């Protein structure tokens, strides 16, 4: 994997496989994938080795064609899984240091995402006490809209961690080109 490419830990592929099995979609999705992407589901790589995210993004595009909500559900499932396992100690520390509010957690997204994926950066723009905007920058080449849904689903995990009800709105595309994308996602909670 090149330094400039988007990437993810190998454990992401195991999580995706488990998600597809749980939803009864594994065989249907595998049938629509190229051989390298199918292989990542059949024999996920070493959990803590960095992998190119191209197979993951192909899987997300296939899911998106079936339903954009499936990609958001996958993103949320991934966020929940990682927040209770791999990055749980960091999240626990962040919640105690910065406060157990969505605003404080949205303000530190770079810290959490960088433990699992590469090629993403985030900025939180507060609005009122219970709403704001997350700006996500995605680098490393062409982007499909399915990636926006995956991020939207990931962000829902913040509400789970803070024990509040909330929503993440649709992505507003600020930039989408051959180098990547920049999007704005409205967030609000009760």
What stretch of H or E contains 180?
strand 180-189
CA angle, 15 then 171 then 169, to 5°: 85
Q: What is the mean pLDDT of each run of 10 residues along the chain (190 residues)?
A: 76 97 98 98 95 97 98 97 84 79 93 93 97 97 96 97 96 97 98
pTM of the model: 0.94
C-alpha distances (whole Å) from 63 to each of 8, 96, 111, 143 are: 18, 36, 28, 15
pLDDT (0 to 100) of residue 4: 58
pLDDT for 17: 97
Range 7-189 classified under CATH 3.90.1520.10? yes
Q: Two tokens at 79? A: 């966020």
Map out the domains of the chain as residue ranges. 7-189
Nearest-angstrom CA–CA distance, 39 and 180: 26
Beta bridge partners of 117: 8
């Amino acid at each position: 994997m090149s330094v400039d490419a988007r990437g993810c830990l190998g454990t992401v592929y195991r999580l995706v496989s488990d998600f597809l099995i749980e939803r009864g979609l594994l065989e249907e999705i595998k049938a629509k994938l190229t051989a390298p992407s199918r292989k990542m589901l059949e024999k996920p790589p070493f959990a803590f080795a960095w992998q190119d995210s191209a197979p993951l993004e192909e899987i997300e595009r296939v899911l998106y064609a079936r339903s954009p909500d499936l990609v958001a559900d996958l993103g949320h499932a991934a966020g929940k899984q990682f927040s209770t396992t791999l990055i749980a100690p960091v999240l626990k520390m962040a919640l105690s240091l910065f406060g157990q509010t969505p605003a404080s957690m949205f303000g530190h997204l770079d810290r959490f995402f960088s433990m699992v994926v590469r090629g993403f950066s985030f900025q939180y723009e507060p609005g009122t006490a219970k709403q704001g905007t997350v700006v996500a920058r995605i680098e490393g080449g062409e982007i499909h809209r399915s990636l926006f849904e995956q991020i939207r689903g990931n962000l829902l995990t913040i509400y789970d961690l803070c024990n509040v009800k909330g929503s993440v709105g649709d992505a507003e595309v600020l930039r989408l080109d051959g180098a990547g994308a920049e999007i704005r996602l409205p967030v609000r909670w009760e």
